[in-house]
Structures are given as structure tokens and as C-alpha cells.
Chain A
């Protein structure tokens, strides 16, 4: 068998190197501990367990029994999908793939002893640690808002009870009321996410509350797929949506969760629903593990998603600072498979293939009006680098847009099977 141009890490070299690892010297199987069972972590757990066929002990630490996907949670808000359909459990990872699923929070990482401690008090040792904890919000990012106000002003940017809460608030809006969104600054998870949400909120309001208004308060001068979204909003929701950009005070609004007001450029506006999506950073455990930089994200090497700061630690998905990929579930899933291949190679000597990444983000503007953007990426020594991409076009016929939406449903079924088995 020959491989032109391709450099594989020779199995022999890796096997020799891993002989120095204590776990290989002893009787125990090498262990990979994965923190976070979302798009990145669940995929990594499944692939390492599946492909190593028992040669690696895979421990997944995840507090939730049911993972609600952020992807398609906007469709739940729009009433296009029901809430139950975005919930997934970890049973198959345990029963069919032998993953040890520990429902607990990781609260500490000792990089010298190579252990992770959990809130429940366990210390779990690892040969490799993979962190995929998603995002957390920056303190003080939106004036007047903190986590104690998330019931009055939900973010719904981690799916689950927040999704249900925001939906209930939208459904309970008085006729002619106002839904406001405080949109986040870059970088944040799912660049088209807030704008797909606007579309889905508009969709449900148009049906049940057609005189209602939508206000977007945005610190960014432009956003993902903007031309496609605004074209769609003009076609479907004419006059309903107002966008206040940075030049009109979108940069530093002040919210008052008790009075339900938003103050923009000194002007106080009373709103009925206020969806605050604050600025983001890597999930806290990445901070605790010491793998984040001063920007709050965890820099990684593109070839295997390993930390640029510490050995034997890998970071996937939203928490990582990897280069050109958007923070999406598709990206996290793609990165997880590259990482799984590399980690398995390092621990068992299996063949390591070159990193290849891709992403596609579908968004729904209105029933059967779907759009998409996607790209391919390669690993360079510096970062994950975009090689080429595509995007939907304005003026596509209805059939194309419907097919795009249907394709996204297929993708949803695919990625959730790829994560959870």
C-alpha cells in the first residue's frame, strides 16, 4: 500500500514512544478523560471507544443526563420543532461503546499528577485529557445583566431550560409587544445563531402576534450571512425587525431586568422579552486547567487539537482558539474526529492520518426557506486554515431553499447519531 505525499506518523515510532507512558508499562489500559459531552466531547468519546475497540478506557464527565442541542433550538423557539426532539441521552455511549459516563462536574485539573477532580469528590487519572466544555459568559459583558437575571432576561444560548423559558416568554408576549435581543460581540458560538433566532421569533410572532416588534441591539457592524438574512426578513417579515448597530448605541446597551427596560444611547425602551446573549469565553474548566490565554480561549495546535500550553491536554469546539473555523457544532464534531484519531494513535500506535476539517451551518429564515454556508479547512503549523468555501445566494428559487432546509434535517439526524450512536 502506498501513500503519495502523505506523511503518516509511523506506527512503530508511536508505539516506541508510548512505551514510556506509565499506563502502558503497567497492566492498565491507557485512559482518556473527556470533559463535556456535547458536540465535541460526545463525538470524541464515541470515536475513541469505537475505533480503539476496547484498547482505551474512555471516561466522559458530563453533568447533564440529557443533552439538549443548541442546534435546532431556534426552531423550537419558532414552533417548527418540539422541545423533546432536541434532547439526547448518553445510554448508547455506555451500552454500545463502553464509554464510562460520569454524570458530574469537573472542577479541577492537576496537570502534574494527571488527574481530574469532580464536584462529587472523585479524582480520575488520565493519560490524555480532552476538554470540550463549550462556552461561558464574560462577567459584566452587558451592563445590568448577570447570571442571576437569566430568568427575567434569558440568554437561551445554552439549550435546555433556558430554551423553554424564552419560548414561554415569547408565546406570552402581549399583542403588539416588543422582543429585544442584545446580540454578542465576536467571537461567539454559532455566528448565524442570533439571526436565525430572530427569523424564528419573527416566524412565530407573524402567526400569533403580527403587530409585535423585534429589536436587535448589535455591537457588530456586520454579521454572518447578513445579506441573506436581511433579504429574507424583507420578504417574510417586512417592517417587523429593527436593527440597531454599533453606530447608534448597539455597542453598550444597559439592561434593567426588574424594570424590563433597555437603555440605548441614553434612551430608555420598555420591552416585553429581553434575550441577552452576553460576550463569551471558553468554558470555565479550561481556565481552571490553565490552558486559556488572556483573551479567554484555549489556543490549540491544528494537527491534533492539542493545547499550545500544556502536554497531554486537547481542547475541542467552542472553547478552542484554532484559527479559521467558526464555533459550531459541525466544527466541534469535525475537530473531535481529528483529535480522536491522533489521541488513539499516540496511545495505541494506530495509524494517524492527516487532519481534515469541514463545516456547514444551515439556518432557517422561514418555513422551507433555508440557507447555508460552508467551508473546508486544513491544518497548518500556525492554525486551522480555510481552503475554500461556499454560501447560498439571494434569489435562489423556492425549491432550492426548501431542499436546503430538508438537507439540514438530514444533517441534524446525522450529527446526533455521530455523537450519541
Chain B
């Protein structure tokens, strides 16, 4: 079962016409070839030019490199930065945009599709973000829904009873700035009960496809 079984369908947003995709791990494996000169994965993977990336997802920044980590990355980790969907999306696009003094000599992956596929690949390798039995396969029609940002903002008030509106993590995951298809997939996974958490299943279960798209569109546009 694919982790994020999206076809590459472009969603256009009223605000910024961003093209967005969520990835497939198999395609991500091909993208990873670009990383292999420096990073290993798999059972006997060890530090090469950079760290082994088996358990990247959810890991505090700098931890995998141990004492070989750059000061900048270590510091980011100490300040609470973790490798998750959001930070990887930014880092993989242009590493220096996130960590200006990173030692990693890689200019970045320009195509969003490549980044999404690579992230999906990393998710498949390690522990993953959260126990996900399987993510549902969303139909093209559902994926093509354009979310109404204003309605999303209203619905989002139902999320901020628990999650922080400013995107900080104060005991519950940050939900701002996620790429819309990843957000939507997560919500659908709760709705179908493929992701566990009774509160989230309840919340997502009360939303229809358009409403999930509206929330995804709204939160994608909320950046700190």
C-alpha cells in the first residue's frame, strides 16, 4: 500500500496559484539517488558525508549527525526544530533558506513533486509521523476540489479550540502551513479512521469533502 497515493494533480489556489502535489514513496526512491553520494539508508547505513537517514521523520534537527552536526543545525534542533512534513518541504527546496549556515552542499529540489515524493519515501523508511495504518486513496474529484479560503477560516475556528492559531506546538501538533494535499489527506485519513485519535476522527467525520478542502486551503496559507 502506497503511503500517499496521490496522482500528481495540480490544485490551484485563488491567492497564489501554487501547484501542489503529494508524493509517492516509489518515486521518492528515484529522487533519493541525488542524495546517495552523501547519505545512506537501509540496515547497514552509516554516516557518510552526511548522516544515515533511516529515521529522519520526527527527529530533532542535528541529532542524526551526532557530533558531526553543524552548529547551525544543532542550534535549530535545540530550539525545537524537528524534521517533519513542513520543515522538510522548506529545507529540500533550498536548504540555506531554512538553515543559512548548514554544511549540506546541495542547492535543493526545484520541483515540488520531487520534494513530496522524497518526503513520502522518508516517511516510508522510518517510524513516520504518527501511526498511520494506511492513508486513503483520494479520488481525483476530491483532490481537484478548490477550497474556499474564507469558509476555511471560519471552519478553522473549530480547530483552534485545541491547536494554536499561531502554528506553535503547545502540546498538540502545529497545523499551519501544511501543503494543502497533505493536510487534506491527513484529514481524510481521520475521517476514514485510518489514522487513530478519537477527537480527530470525530472532527474530521463532521466535515464533508469541500469543507476539508476549505480547511486545507486556509491553513496552507497561514505562515508564521
Contacts from A to B (Cβ < 8 Å): 1, 3-4, 47, 330, 333-334, 337, 341, 351, 353, 356, 358, 360, 372, 374-376, 387-390, 392, 406-407, 409-415, 417-418
Shortest CB–CB separation between residue B134 and chain A, in angstroms?
A: 21
- The smallest beta-carbon distance between B84 and chain A, in angstroms, is 16
Please tell me if the beta carbons of A407 and B158 are within 8 angstroms of each other in the complex: no
Selected contact of A413 from candidates B14, B150, B170, B206, CB within 8 Å: B170
Q: What are 6 A-B pairs at a CB distance below 8 A?
A: A337-B157, A374-B202, A388-B202, A409-B171, A410-B172, A414-B162
Contact B199 A374 (CB under 8 A): yes
In the assembled complex, the CB of B15 is this many whole angstroms from the nearest CB of chain A, namely 13
Known: A334-B158, A372-B198, A418-B157. 20 other contacts (CB 8 A): A1-B148, A3-B148, A47-B157, A353-B155, A356-B158, A356-B206, A358-B203, A374-B199, A406-B171, A409-B171, A410-B162, A410-B163, A410-B171, A411-B172, A412-B171, A413-B171, A414-B160, A415-B161, A417-B165, A418-B160
Q: Is the CB of A414 within 8 A of B172?
A: yes
Contact of B164 among A330, A334, A372, A417 (CB under 8 A): A417
A389 nearest CB neighbor, chain B only: B202
Contacts of B199 in A (CB 8 A): 360, 372, 374, 390, 407
Residue B201 CB within 8 A of the other chain = yes
Neighbour of B162 across the interface among A1, A3, A47, A415, CB < 8 A: A415
The one of A1, A351, A390 that contacts B198, using a Cβ cutoff of 8 Å: A390
CB pair B161–A411 under 8 Å, yes or no, is: yes
Residues of B within 8 A of A356 (CB): 155, 158, 206
Q: How far is the CA of A330 from the CA of B199 in the complex (A)?
A: 13
Known: A1-B148, A375-B202. A411 touches B157 (CB 8 A): no
Q: B210: CB under 8 A from chain A?
A: yes
Task: Specify which chain B residues have a CB less than 8 angstroms from the CB of A417 in the assembled complex.
Answer: 160, 164-165, 170
Q: Which of A333, A409, A411 has the most CB of B within 10 A?
A: A411
Contact A374 B198 (CB under 8 A): yes
Contacts of B165 in A (CB 8 A): 417-418
In the complex, chain B residues 144-181 whose Cβ is within 8 Å of any chain A Cβ: 148, 150-151, 154-155, 157-158, 160-165, 170-172
Which A residues are CB-close (under 8 A) to B154? 341, 353
Residue B128 at the A interface, CB < 8 A?
no
Instruction: Determine the residue in chain A with the shortest Cβ distance to B163.
Output: A414
Complex Cα–Cα for A47 and B157 (A): 9
B201 to A390, Cβ gap below 8 A? yes
By Cβ-Cβ distance, the 8 closest A-B pairs, closest first, are: A410-B171, A410-B172, A376-B206, A413-B170, A414-B162, A337-B157, A390-B198, A353-B154
Return the contact of A330 from the options B151, B161, B206 (Cβ within 8 A).
B161
Minimal beta-carbon separation of B203 from chain A (angstroms): 6
Contact B202 A414 (CB under 8 A): no
CB of B58 closer than 8 Å to a CB of A = no
Which residues of B201-221 are within 8 A (CB) of A? 201-203, 205-206, 210
- Cα A398 to Cα B157 in complex, Å, equals 31
Contact between B151 and A407 (Cβ–Cβ < 8 Å)? no
Name the residue on B nearest A352 (C-beta).
B154
**Which B residue's beta carbon lies closest to that of A411?**
B162
Residue of B nearest to A421 (CB): B165
Q: Do residues A407 and B150 form an inter-chain contact, with CB atoms below 8 A?
A: no
* Chain B residues, CB < 8 A from A409: 171
Closest CB of chain B to A41's CB: distance in Å?
15
Smallest CB separation, A282 vs chain B (Å): 23
Complex: chain B residue closest to A353, CB-CB: B154
- Chain B residue nearest to A350 (CB atoms) is B150
Report the Cα distance A410→B158, complex, angstroms: 15
Interface centre among B161, B163, B172, B198 (most CB of A within 10 A): B161
Q: Assess A333 versus B172: contact at CB under 8 Å? Given A1-B148, A375-B202, A376-B205.
A: no
Is B172 in contact with A407, judged by CB distance below 8 angstroms? yes
Residue of A nearest to B170 (CB): A413
A419 (CB) vs chain B CBs: closest residue: B161
In the assembly, what is the distance between CA of A341 and CA of B158, in Å? 12
Residues on B with C-beta less than 8 A from A390 are 198-199, 201-202
* Nearest residue, chain B, Cβ from A47: B157
Establish whether residues A414 and B198, one from each chain, have CB atoms under 8 Å apart when the complex forms.
no
> CA of A53 to CA of B161 in the docked complex: distance in angstroms?
21
When C-beta atoms are compared, the residue in chain B nearest to A357 turns out to be: B158
Cα of A415 to Cα of B157 in the assembled complex, Å:
11
In the bound complex, CA of A407 to CA of B160 (Å) = 14
